[in-house]
Amino acid sequence: DAGVIQSPRHEVTEMGQEVTLRCKPISGHNSLFWYRQTMMRGLELLIYFNNNVPIDDSGMPEDRFSAKMPNASFSTLKIQPSEPRDSAVYFCASSLRTAHGLHSPLHFGNGTRLTVT
């Protein structure tokens, strides 16, 4: 089991540029979560998907942020245009939601450290 795989590990970009973060969840997991971690605000849930469908995007800070999950094994988080205040570590996590609505523990990737200058 390779775990949740995120890429890139580090991203440095200039303000105004588009940034795309990628995530491959654990095979067989049907729920996927995007979190953002900063010193000031800790871990914040941005959006989560169940069976590739976005269920709750209330944590997405602005329209500049968008996320997609075109299939069960891939998701992207896009920021366009990026701003310095978007600098943070972005984590993807996955879990298995059963038919009874119970979730297996969250498995996190190692994150993408984004720096917007």
Partner 1 sequence: TQLLEQSPQFLSIQEGENLTVYCNSSSVFSSLQWYRQEPGEGPVLLVTVVTGGEVKKLKRLTFQFGDARKDSSLHITAAQPGDTGLYLCAGGHSGNTGKLIFGQGTTLQVKP
Q: Quick check: helix, strand or coil at residue 95?
A: strand
Determine the Cα–Cα distance for residues 84 and 110; give it in Å rounded to an integer: 22
Cα-based torsion angle of the residue sequence 1, 113, 70, 26 in order, rounded to the nearest 10 degrees: 10
Q: Is 115 in the site for partner 1 (CB under 8 A)?
A: no
Based on the shown chain and the rule CB under 8 A, indicate whether residue 1 belongs to the binding site for partner 1.
no
Q: Quick one: 68 or 97, whose CB is closer to partner 1?
A: 97
43 in contact with partner 1 (CB under 8 A): yes
The nearer residue to partner 1, 58 or 71, going by C-beta atoms, is: 58
108 binds partner 1, rule: CB under 8 A: yes
Please say which residue, 48 or 65, places its beta carbon nearer to partner 1. Answer: 48
Residue indicated by tokens 């978007």: 86
Residue from 48, 75, 77, 79 touching partner 1 (CB under 8 A): that is 48
* Amino acid symbol at 113: R
Between the CA of residue 33 and those of 19, 100, 103, what are the distances in Å? 18, 19, 12
The stretch near partner 1 (CB under 8 A) out of 18-26, 36-44, 65-73, 80-88 is 36-44
Q: What is the chain's Cα-based Rg?
A: 14
Where along the sequence are the contacts to partner 1 (CB under 8 A)? 4, 31, 33, 35, 42-45, 48, 50, 55-56, 91, 93, 95, 97, 101-103, 105-106, 108-111
